[in-house]
Amino acid sequence: MDSPLVIGGKEFSCRLFVGTGKLPSSSLIPEIVKSSGTQMITVALRRVNLSRPEENILSYIPEGVVVLPNTSGARNAEEAVRIARLAREAGCGNFVKIEIIHEMDYLMPDNEETIKATALLAKEGFVVLPYVMPDLIAAQKLVDAGAAAVMPLGSPIGSHRGLRTKDLIAMLIEKIDLPIIVDAGIGKPSHAAEAMEMGADAVLVNTAIATSVDPVAAARAFSLAVEAGRISYLCQKAQESLYAQASSPLSGLLS
């Protein structure tokens, strides 16, 4: 039996988080939530338009689903902090995904600035989920800075290349006592399953769902893959502990 994932005091029984920036219509969000069971939806604050109700993405997110605003557009810690504060003022709650990018081709995150922004925002009471290059040392600093989870990239945003950083993510899973959420590069459900099977706590998918010919069906496929990967991981873990117990069955007899 699995226990729910807890981040910032909220419980998540579904370990698939869904991004919205590339969807053909915000009106698909309720159906995506329904088909996938996702309980966390990311939105870019730069796209939150309160002046045009039919374009206000927040109004499409069903009650009970956690809104995770991201700081897309920020090039340094100071800008990320400003966006996070605006997001809270705009009614997005106190979760924030820090995204600090100043290279527009591969959209690689700046780990150093992300660590700074995490420390500042955690002190202000935000539940901070930083998007980073999977780097063990950076992740340790994020723990100290007060991050609520770590979101390493599998491969560049929108690239659909899967877990090209697998070995580096494995180090975070092994060593970091925070939820590890694989974000970016997950191009198909099998990638998501692979991430969960190796022990990631959750997966965030944006482009692959949003640009699918049927985003609602794709969200369901990802959700099932995440669940399958999770069950497989738990079985594997149970197997290992069983093996550990069974490895010295004669110890009592021969002592």
Give the catalytic positions in this structure: 97
Q: Does residue number 86 form part of the binding site for another protein (CB under 8 A)?
A: yes
Pairing status of strand 202-205 against strand 16-19: parallel
Nearer to another protein, 27 or 239 (CB): 27
| 102 lies in the site for another protein, by CB under 8 A | yes
Which residues are within 8 A (CB) of 213 and not within 5 positions of it... i.e. 6 or more apart?
none
User: Per CB under 8 A, which region of 2-10, 41-49, 147-155, 169-177 contacts another protein?
Assistant: 41-49
Which range binds another protein by CB under 8 A, 1-9, 155-163, 172-180, 237-245?
Answer: 155-163
Residues 195, 164 contacting (CB under 8 angstroms) = no
Q: Which of 101, 149 has the CB closer to another protein?
A: 101
Residue count, binding to another protein (CB under 8 A): 31
User: Pick from 52, 64, 250, 252: which binds another protein (CB under 8 A)?
Assistant: 52
Interaction of residue 24 with another protein, rule CB under 8 A: yes
Strand locations in the chain (E): 5-7, 10-12, 16-19, 40-44, 66-70, 95-98, 127-132, 151-152, 181-183, 202-205
22 binds another protein (CB under 8 A): yes
Report the amino acid identity of residue 147. A
Within 10 angstroms of residue 241's Cβ, the number of other Cβ atoms is 9
Under rule CB under 8 A, residue 184 binds another protein: no
Q: Is 109 helix (H, G, I), strand (E, B) or coil?
A: strand
Compute the least distance from the CB of residue 66 to another protein, in Å. Answer: 21
Cα(136)–Cα(142) distance, rounded to whole angstroms?
Answer: 10
Q: Which one of 10, 75, 164, 188 is in contact with another protein (CB under 8 A)?
A: 75
Closest CB to another protein among 51 and 245? 51
Nearer to another protein, 104 or 244 (CB): 104
Q: How far apart are CA 149 and CA 203, in angstroms?
A: 12
State which of positions 191-210 bind another protein (CB under 8 A).
207, 210
CB of 134 to another protein, least distance (A): 21
Cα separation, 70 vs 83, whole angstroms: 8
What residues contact residue 212 under an 8 Å CB cut-off, 6+ apart? 218
Binding-site ranges for another protein (CB under 8 A):
21-26, 45-49, 51-52, 55, 73-75, 79, 82-83, 86, 102-105, 158-160, 207, 210-211
